[in-house]
Amino acid sequence: MAPDCAVEGAVAGPVSAEGIRGALTPNAPLAKLVWFKTGGAADWLFEPADLDDLREFLLRLDGNLPVMALGLGSNMIVRDGGVPGVVVRLGKAFAKVEAKGDHVLECGGGASGILVSSTARDAGIAGLEFLRGIPGTVGGFVRMNGGAYGREVADVLIDCDVVMPGGELVRLPAADLRYTYRHSALPEGAVVVAARLQGTPGDPAEIGAEMDRIAKAREESQPLRTKTGGSTFKNPEGDKAWRLVDAAGCRGLRMGGAQVSEKHANFLINTGDATSADIEGLGEEVRRRVYAHSGVMLEWEIQRVGRP
């Protein structure tokens, strides 16, 4: 067995780094990579050079450490104690989007919702405009069945390519993901590297107008220019999370540097000096108050990861 190669500052890597072309960083700060701008470090951050590099790295890792994929960090609280194991962040090599025949879009796992929807618009592919309203990457919204403005990924996904924790590349049809509201059956530690989305024929001008409408609606209703994490709680059946939060008197509620947004009650914001514990603690207090007021226990939509 090859010895572990030295990685930055003579720290032994989790696998032999010989031939691995991506960047492997120990004790990597994650706060700058997530929208809330809070949280601790990853034990290891791996940014693969390309698909083969990712597969080789995970093959060598062989499931010996937990693996978590990180996209744009929009819908996530990284706890203050950091994330154990390896965080995988997909870069430019995974951010390509290409129109194929039959109004299909092939998207890299690191491509943003804005890039996907604008590529679809330029190719005259309708039905993917809603992705303009999801602040994340293909990998994240395939895993979470991301949705906005009445549509969700389950409506458009044909299949996706994932790299399993042991390095195996697998193509999963949408049915295998067993989608429900903001949830999939994608295995823990699997990294979505590509997806194919089905659209319909459309007029680029009309598609663009719908995207503009979505962007304007988000700007008017959501606190986009703050350190936030997107929608905090899932909408309960037949109701809206923001309405329940508002009815329980939580709009503007604060804990440390965290606050329930005055603009949209289902958004938490970092007012400047919040810790992840402040944000998560505020969310739990909101859940408690909503339950006391309405008898509904809100479910988190934001992912909370790592050590407290």
Per-residue pLDDT tens over the stretch 40-59: 999 999 999 999 999 999 99
pLDDT at residue 232, as a whole number: 97
Q: How far is CA 305 from CA 86, 155, 278, in A?
A: 12, 28, 15
Residues 86 and 65: their CA atoms lie apart, in Å, by: 7
Residues 193 and 180: their CA atoms lie apart, in Å, by: 21
Which residues, listed in sequence order, are joined to residue 260 by a DSSP beta bridge? 268
Residues 57 and 63: their CA atoms lie apart, in Å, by: 11
pLDDT at residue 11, as a whole number: 59
Asked if 108 contacts 95 with a C-beta cutoff of 8 angstroms, the reply is: yes
Q: Is 223 left (phi over 0), alpha (psi -120 to 50) or beta?
A: beta
Overall residue count recorded for the chain in this entry = 308
Which helix (H) or strand (E) segment holds residue 76: the answer is strand 76-78
Residues 277 and 292: their CA atoms lie apart, in Å, by: 22
pLDDT at residue 199, as a whole number: 98
- List the chain residues with pLDDT less than 70: 1-11
Give the closest residue to 56 by CA, choosing from 18, 11, 25, 111: 18
Q: Which two tokens stand for residue 290?
A: 């909503």
Asked if 54 contacts 1 with a C-beta cutoff of 8 angstroms, the reply is: no
Residue type, 58: L
Give the closest residue to 62 by CA, choosing from 172, 171, 189: 189
pLDDT at residue 1, as a whole number: 31
| Residues contacting residue 222 through CB under 8 Å, at least 6 positions apart | 228, 263, 264, 267
pLDDT at residue 5, as a whole number: 41
Q: What pTM did the predictor assign?
A: 0.92
pLDDT at residue 248, as a whole number: 98
Asked about 231 being catalytic, the answer comes back as: yes
Asked about 301 being catalytic, the answer comes back as: yes
Phi, psi dihedrals of residue 251, rounded to the nearest 5°: -60, 125
Give the count of beta carbons closer than 10 Å to the beta carbon of residue 291. 14
pLDDT in tens, 77-110: 999 999 999 999 999 999 999 999 999 999 999 9
Q: Which two tokens stand for residue 99?
A: 């129109």
Phi, psi dihedrals of residue 302, rounded to the nearest 5°: -70, 135
Of the candidates 182, 251, 287, 289, the residue annotated as catalytic is: 182
Residue type, 68: M
Asked about 221 being catalytic, the answer comes back as: no
pLDDT in tens, 152-179: 999 999 999 999 999 999 999 999 999 9
Of the candidates 74, 112, 184, 231, the residue annotated as catalytic is: 231
DSSP for residue 243: H
Residue type, 290: V
Q: Which two tokens stand for residue 168?
A: 């195996």
pLDDT at residue 2, as a whole number: 33
- Residue given tokens 């067995």 in the structure block: 1
CA-CA-CA-CA torsion sign (135, 244, 38, 75): negative
Q: Which two tokens stand for residue 130?
A: 């809603």
